[in-house]
Structure 1
């Protein structure tokens, strides 16, 4: 693998050289530097947000697309931890990834393989009311559920289930269609 000086150079080269993303816009939030890469594909709404911390640490690499609001909500809280790509049995650790070979291969794998899983949406009048996200390859029945209605807590618990309401359309979106990799 080519030598890179830091995460920023590594990710920038991969995304830009793929031809699928344009040069990023950069902003700062607190101690994080965030680069947002927009797709070069004409009708694609997919963008990748990459967060860096000082001392050459990668805190997140998040893929967003407005057509999958459940997935967007899920990734908004996802961050890298020190041992995410460790093969020594350790888990978690400090927040963020160091810039080393093992972590570079892990991040490269995410970028090359793209997204896995699907989002099942319950839509009424072109508005997503509820979303179920299936992303665990080893457990196809496990899902994350997101309610996008303005219903109160008790109404969500005891009220009519969204998927049983009249006029509900069920849509399935394969996440790989949002980002299939580079």
Structure 2
């Protein structure tokens, strides 16, 4: 059975009046996500969309400010604690999709340039991998490799989740991947979120 491809033309974009309305339509109409659970934290409204795919633990979390700026669009899955740690500190800034300016105040205004950028992120999905080092089925260390739009935007982070190792032991002690009983596991991030079919 072929999946319907969502079409968001410029004319169709104008009928949406807010980030919340657009993101709800894209995620729910794709058939990949359920109606969201709503949470309010201070002045931020957060919607949590759970995947409809069997055995998937993937969620998309969208946060909006009172002025209808989009603060973040996080993809979360407990199978990739390194990626989850990375997105904890990722937020949109006013000029994120602007070719001339950079950064600016927190949040994306609802306009064509920004909606095109966010739709592109949702269409592309996650690119990269997480290499995990486990002992007794617990992730002690994670190396996250993110692929950018081209190789100059590729980057990596390492996260140490070993709680019993003190600061100096983490710095001077044996590397986790060299310890006995360590299992290595690699997860392709596309298996966490492969994107949503959206035609432009």
Judge same fold: TM > 0.5, yes or no: yes
Query: Cα–Cα, structure 1 residues 141 and 36, in superposed 2: closer, same or farther, change >3 Å?
Result: closer
Deviations 1:41-85 (A, max 9, x none): 120000000000011100000000000000000001100000100
Query: Cα–Cα, structure 1 residues 94 and 41, in superposed 2: closer, same or farther, change >3 Å?
Result: same
Q: 1:18, CA displacement in angstroms?
A: 0.3
CA contact (8 A) 1:59 1:80 kept: yes
1:1-182 alignment, distance < 5 Å: 1=9, 2=12, 3-88=15-100, 90-137=101-148, 138=151, 142-150=155-163, 151-182=165-196
Runs of 4+ in structure 1 deviating by more than 3 angstroms, as ranges, are 139-142
Task: Tell which has more relative contact order, 1 or 2 (C-alpha 8 A, sep 6+).
Answer: 2
Q: 1:136, CA displacement in angstroms?
A: 3.8
Query: Cα–Cα, structure 1 residues 12 and 106, in superposed 2: closer, same or farther, change >3 Å?
Result: same
CA contact (8 A) 1:52 1:60 kept: yes
CA contact (8 A) 1:134 1:140 kept: no
Deviations 1:108-155 (A, max 9, x none): 011111001110001111111000001143259842000001111111
Backbone CA RMSD of aligned residues: 1.2
Structure 2: tracts of 5 or more residues without a match: 1-8
TM-score (norm 2): 0.88
Distance between the aligned counterparts of 2:90 and 2:191, measured in 1? 21
TM-score (norm 1): 0.96
CA contact (8 A) 2:146 2:154 kept: no
Structure 1: tracts of 5 or more residues without a match: none
